[in-house]
A and B are shown apart, each in its own frame.
Chain A
Amino acid sequence: MSDTHGHGHHVEEEEKPVAKARPIEPTEDSLDLPFEPMELKMGPSHPATHGTVRILLKLDGERIVHSEVEVGYLHRGFEKECESGLWYQAFPYTDRLNYVSPIINNVGYALACEKLFGIEAPERAQWLRVIASEVSRMSDHYTCLGACSLELGAFTAFLYAVEAREQLWDLHDALCGARVTTNYVRIGGLSMDVGRDFRELAKERLAAAGKLQQDLEDLLLSNPIFLDRMEGTGVLPKEKLIELGVTGPVLRAAGVPYDVRRAQPYLVYDRIDYDVPIGEAGDNLDRFLVRIEELKQSRRMIEQCVERMPEGPVDVDDPHVRLAGKGRVFERMEELIAQFKIVTEGPKPPVGEVYQAVEGGNGELGFYLVSDGTGRPVKCRPRSPSFSNTQALSPMIDGAMLADVIPTFDMINMIGGECDR
Chain B
Amino acid sequence: MSDPTNDATEPADALVQPASPVLRDLLSRFAGRVLAVSEHRGDATAIVDRAALLEVGRHLRDDAACAFDMLLDVTAVDYLGRRPRFEVVYHLLSIDRNDRVRIKVPLEEEDLVIPSVVPIWAGADWLERETFDLYGVRFDGHPNLKRIYLYEEFEGHPLRKDYPKEKRQPLIGPGAVRRDPMNDDLTR
Q: Does B123 contact A (CB under 8 A)?
A: yes
CB neighbors of A among B68-103 (8 A): 69-73, 75, 77, 79, 89, 91, 93, 95, 98, 100, 102
B186 lies within 8 A of chain A by Cβ: no
Taking the closest CB of chain A, its distance from the CB of B96, in whole angstroms, is 9
- In this assembly, does B121 line the interface, its C-beta being within 8 Å of a C-beta of chain A? yes
The range of chain B's interface size is 35 or more
15 further contact pairs, Cβ within 8 A, besides A355-B100, A366-B73? A245-B71, A245-B72, A246-B123, A247-B70, A351-B1, A352-B1, A352-B41, A354-B40, A355-B102, A366-B91, A368-B75, A378-B77, A387-B130, A391-B125, A391-B126
Q: Report the minimal beta-carbon distance from A417 to chain B, rounded to whole angstroms.
A: 13
Question: What residues on A are CB-neighbors of B125 within 8 Å?
Answer: 391
Which chain A residues lie closer than 8 Å to B126 at the CB level?
Answer: 71, 387-388, 390-391
A370 within 8 Å of B (CB atoms) = yes
Chain B contacts for A364, CB-based, 8 A? 72, 93
Bound CA–CA A81/B125 (angstroms): 25
- Taking a contact as CB atoms under 8 Å apart, the answer to whether B123 and A391 are in contact is yes
Residue interface mask A71-93, B partner, CB < 8 A = 1: 11001010111011000000000
Contact A75 B122 (CB under 8 A): no
B interface residues, Cβ below 8 angstroms from A:
1, 3-4, 40-41, 43, 45, 69-73, 75, 77, 79, 89, 91, 93, 95, 98, 100, 102, 121-123, 125-127, 130, 134, 148-150, 158-159, 161, 165
7 contacts between A and B (CB under 8 A): A72-B148, A83-B161, A244-B123, A263-B98, A364-B93, A387-B127, A391-B125
Q: Is the CB of B3 within 8 A of A351?
A: yes
Give A contacts to B, CB under 8 Å: 71-72, 75, 77, 79-81, 83-84, 115-116, 118, 240, 242-247, 256, 258, 263-264, 351-355, 357, 364, 366, 368, 370, 378-379, 381, 383, 387-388, 390-391, 420-421
When chains A and B are docked, how far (Å) is the Cα of A246 from the Cα of B70? 8
- Identify the closest chain A residue to B130 (Cβ): A387
Chain B residues within an 8 Å CB radius of A245: 70-72, 121, 123, 127
CB nearest neighbor in B for A350: B1
* Residue of B95, B123, B158, B159 with most chain A CB atoms under a 10 A cut-off: B123
Q: Which of A75, A383, A390 contacts B72 (CB 8 A)?
A: A383
Pair B72/A354 contact, Cβ less than 8 Å: no
Q: How far is the CA of A243 from the CA of B119 in the complex (A)?
A: 10
Given contacts A355-B100, A378-B79, contact A383 B73 (CB under 8 A): yes
Which residues of A are found within 8 Å of B77, using beta-carbon distances?
370, 378-379
Contacts of B71 in A (CB 8 A): 245
How long is the Cα–Cα vector from A80 to B58 in the complex, in angstroms? 33
* B167 → A minimal CB distance (Å): 10
The answer to whether B41 touches A116 (Cβ under 8 A) is yes
Q: Who on chain A is nearest to B73 by CB?
A: A383
